[in-house]
Amino acid sequence: MRLKTRVLAGLIAFAALATSATAGDYYAGKSIDLLIGAPPGGGYDIYARALARHYGRHIPGQPTIVAKNMPGAGSARAAGFISTMAPKDGTAIAAIMPGAVMGPLLEERAEALFDPAKVLYLGTANSGTRICVARKDSKVKTFDDARAQKAAFGGVSSNDSTREYGYMLKKTAGAQYDVVSGYSGTAEIALAMERGEIDGACGWDWSSFKSQRPDWIRDNKVNLLLQVGLEPNAELTRMGVPEVFKYVTNEDDRKVVELVIAQQVFQRSYIAPPGLAAEQLEALRAAFDATMRDKDFLADAETMRIDIAPLSGAKVQELVQKLYAAPKDMVARARQAITP
């Protein structure tokens, strides 16, 4: 029995070494395109480029990671390319927004550029909290002010949280601002705020906000109005920023908000094409998990002021499957909440 156990253990170890060696041979001398489904300079771009600087070291064979921006349709364009046109050999992956994952579920007329339940998730770098923010010189000093008077809040497009959360908070939390959509990303929204074109925005990721505009917090240039998350953010709570559920008091509305903001659990997702071989998927997922623990990557993230709270690819895959199995009546109410 002891001999059989030793033989079995040896076979398992040999198989693991063989798999690693095979993956190493496969990726040696190759490059992997990392398509970033967002414009340059925004939070998703910052996160993806930080990952690109370290990810390749943890993939057997150490391929070069080439980061390329492919914005459009709230990153559904990049996800669609990965799903349909990109090579299914592990040499193309994408960084996508959670709105792209939720879009086909929550937007009845959304163009189906890809199937979020079929792409393969490598992991997410962060589980985020989103905020509502307004210029310091705006008449909107608190979220109560946003509920009591008209203002202009910026948004991007469908599948983007600045637009969808903007409308959701109007319909469930009593906000009175007008959503001015059409901006290319949060970087352009920030410029519009500085020019005085808009008062603020909702649905801005807190980690991205800190990385993009650290001076706004340091120099007290903004009013932090609201934090939006399933659980309170300790840092924002210490700063006195109220939670969204203080203002969402109707039980049905609360369930709707919970469904919509569940996407924040996989805030910074990275995907590979459907049909990718199990061996390459395993290598990419293991490397992603290792990168999230890498001390150099974490030091880089600290320098960039981005928060890292990862979730494995398998867990993200499971969560997306559960979201797409949500009751149809709840999905219908959530669709209505984020629609103009």
DSSP 114-136: S-TTTSEEEEES----EEEEEET
DSSP 272-291: E-TT--HHHHHHHHHHHHHH
Mean per-residue pLDDT, 280-293: 98
What whole-number distance in Å separates Cα of residue 307 and Cα of residue 124?
12
Closest CA to 87 of 270, 271, 275, 269: 275
Residue 81 clears pLDDT 60, i.e. is over it:
yes
Residue 109 clears pLDDT 80, i.e. is over it:
no
Bridge partners of 30, per DSSP, are none
Residue 3 clears pLDDT 80, i.e. is over it:
no
Residue 6 clears pLDDT 90, i.e. is over it:
no
> What confidence score (pLDDT) does residue 18 get?
44
Residue 24 clears pLDDT 80, i.e. is over it:
no
DSSP 255-271: HHHHHHHGGGGGTTEEE
Mention every residue, 6+ apart, whose C-beta is less than 8 A from residue 48. 34, 36, 38, 67, 95, 268, 270
Dihedral of CA atoms 234, 38, 259, 152 in degrees, nearest 10, equals 80
pLDDT band (50, 70, 90) for residue 321: very high
pLDDT in tens, 185-234: 999 999 999 999 999 999 999 999 999 999 999 999 999 999 999 989 99
- The pLDDT mean for the chain works out to 91
What whole-number distance in Å separates Cα of residue 63 and Cα of residue 28?
6
What whole-number distance in Å separates Cα of residue 258 and Cα of residue 330?
10
Report pTM: 0.77
Residue 261 clears pLDDT 90, i.e. is over it:
yes
What whole-number distance in Å separates Cα of residue 218 and Cα of residue 207?
15
Edge-to-edge strand list for the sheet holding 269-272: 64-69, 31-36, 92-96, 269-272, 120-124, 311-312
Q: CA 130: distance to chain centroid?
A: 11
Read off the tokens for 215: 């001076």
Mention every residue, 6+ apart, whose C-beta is less than 8 A from residue 46. 208, 211, 212, 304, 306
What whole-number distance in Å separates Cα of residue 286 and Cα of residue 157?
34
Mention every residue, 6+ apart, whose C-beta is less than 8 A from residue 38. 44, 45, 48, 69, 71, 75, 95, 97, 185
What whole-number distance in Å separates Cα of residue 28 and Cα of residue 229?
41
Q: Is 148 buried (19+), middle (13-18) or exposed (0-12) by CB count in 10 A?
A: middle
User: Residue 132 is which amino acid?
Assistant: C
Mean per-residue pLDDT, 287-300: 98
Three-state secondary-structure class, residue 58? helix
> What confidence score (pLDDT) does residue 256 get?
94
Mean per-residue pLDDT, 271-294: 97
Q: What percent of the chain has pLDDT over 70?
A: 91
pLDDT band (50, 70, 90) for residue 74: confident
